[in-house]
Structures are given as structure tokens and as C-alpha cells.
């Protein structure tokens, strides 16, 4: 079956595709010729994830999967959270976000954080959501050049490397997105048995 990834983030496409290739023929949005940005106006990751899936499902009547993710830092009251993509304002800028995050954590000892992904799967008018998380901490200075977004400053629990110091397959063994996908795959296996 064909599955469209309802995301405009090429790094998510890369991670999701590599984890779904045994289950679907995965397509990104390039073949649908979408020109506008998919709206994202919710106040939670779950709302935004659903909104993105609905937008693509209703416009193109396709089976699709949307991903909304965020980094929640305890000592910042859960920020940047649902605002992770635009933490430093418009337009979205990963480097600026990362810099602002380190600035806001300067001098703070408590650096606990978690990454969360909410996936929304749409098939024939029905929506299902799957959540994955990983706990870790924000390091003092960026390390590594793999991955994307906040990866250079996020070090998962029990690891001494940041996500940006890991290969795609290493990150995909433990990360929030991969954990949400595990739940999605269990769901797919269950419905196939019916
Ligand atoms: P789409 O909405 O098109 O899917 P987006 O980049 O806007 O793409 P989000 O709204 O989910 O995605 O924003 C998430 C923000 O968190 C964004 O700044 C990403 O760079 C960052 N992010 C998401 N997943 C990440 C990961 O696995 N590692 C590091 N940063 C991540």
C-alpha cells in the first residue's frame, strides 16, 4: 500500500521512510504538488498532528501519516514544546532555536528534557494517533552534525552522545519518533489479523 508522509520537513521524511519501508510504499508530498504550508494552529502536539493529517487527507483523499514533535524542557516549564519549530520566531530556523534554548538555560543546573512525537495515521476517513517519547538532558554546548533541529543539544538518558553524534539508524533505535512508529506498527499488525 501507498502511504503519504504529511510533512514538509525533509529530515522527518528521511527518518520515517527508513522505518516504514518494509510496510508501505512511502511517498513524500512532492508528487502532490502542494505549494502552501500545511496549517498548524493547535495548542497541543496531538491537535497539530491531527490537523496536518486532516489537511492532506481531505485535500487529496490519500492514506497518510503526519508527525508533530516537540522538545519539553522541565526547567522552562515545558517550553519550547508545541512551539519548538518557531521558538525563536518566524521564519522557522533550527540554528536560532537552538541558540535561544541554550541562552535560556544558561546558569541552570536542571537540564532535564523530553522529546515527544505524536503521529496521526489517516486511512479511509478514520484517524489514529500514536505517541512516543524519550527522556534526556540538554547539554551545555552543541555536539555533532548528524540529524536535525535540536539533535546537537539533546543527549538521551544513559547515553554519552547527543542525537547529532549518532547515525540515523542509531537514533532510530531509541528516539521519540521511532517509539511512536513502533506503536503504529503494532496497530498495523493487529488490524491485519482481523
Ligand atoms: P512539519 O510540520 O512539516 O512536519 P516541522 O519542522 O514544522 O515539520 P514540527 O512542527 O513538528 O515540524 O516542529 C518540530 C520542531 O522540533 C522543529 O523545529 C524540528 O526541527 C524539531 N524536531 C522535531 N523532531 C526532531 C528530532 O527528532 N530531533 C531534533 N529536533 C527535532
- Ligand-binding annotation for 150, yes or no, is yes
Q: Is 28 a catalytic residue?
A: no
Residue 137 pLDDT: 98
The DSSP secondary structure of 91-141, one letter per residue, reads: SP-HHHHHHHHHHHTTT-S--EEEEEEEEEEEETTEEEEEEEEEEEEE-SS
- Determine whether the shortest distance from the Cβ of 177 to ligand 1 is under 6 A: yes
| pLDDT average, residue stretch 29-57 | 96
Query: Domains of the chain: which residue ranges?
Result: 2-193
At 155-170, the pLDDT tens digits run: 999 999 999 999 999 9
- Determine whether the shortest distance from the Cβ of 156 to ligand 1 is under 6 A: no
> 2-193, which class in CATH?
alpha beta
The pLDDT of residue 143 is above 90 = yes
Nearest to 88 by CA among 75, 78, 74, 103: 103
Amino acid at each position: 500500500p501507498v502511504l503519504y508522509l504529511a510533512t514538509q520537513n525533509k529530515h522527518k521524511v528521511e527518518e520515517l521512510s527508513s522505518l516504514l519501508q518494509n510496510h508501505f510504499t512511502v511517498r513524500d508530498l512532492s508528487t502532490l504538488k502542494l505549494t502552501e504550508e500545511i496549517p498548524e494552529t493547535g495548542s497541543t502536539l496531538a491537535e497539530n498532528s491531527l490537523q496536518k493529517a486532516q489537511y492532506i487527507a481531505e485535500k487529496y483523499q490519500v492514506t497518510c501519516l503526519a508527525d508533530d514533535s516537540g522538545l519539553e524542557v522541565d526547567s522552562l516549564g515545558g517550553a519550547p514544546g508545541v512551539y519548538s519549530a518557531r521558538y525563536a520566531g518566524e521564519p522557522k530556523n533550527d540554528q536560532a532555536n537552538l541558540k535561544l534554548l541554550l541562552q535560556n538555560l544558561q546558569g541552570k543546573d536542571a537540564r532535564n528534557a523530553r522529546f515527544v512525537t505524536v503521529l496521526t495515521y489517516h486511512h479511509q476517513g478514520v484517524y489514529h494517533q500514536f505517541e512516543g517519547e524519550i527522556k534526556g538532558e540538554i547539554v551545555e554546548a552543541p555536539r555533532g552534525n548528524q540529524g536535525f533541529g535540536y539533535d546537537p543539544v539533546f543527549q538521551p538518558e544513559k547515553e554519552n552522545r547527543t542525537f547529532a553524534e549518532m547515525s540515523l539508524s542509531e537514533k532510530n533505535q531509541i528516539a521519540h519518533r521511532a517509539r511512536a512508529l513502533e506503536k503504529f506498527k503494532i496497530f498495523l499488525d493487529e488490524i491485519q489479523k482481523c
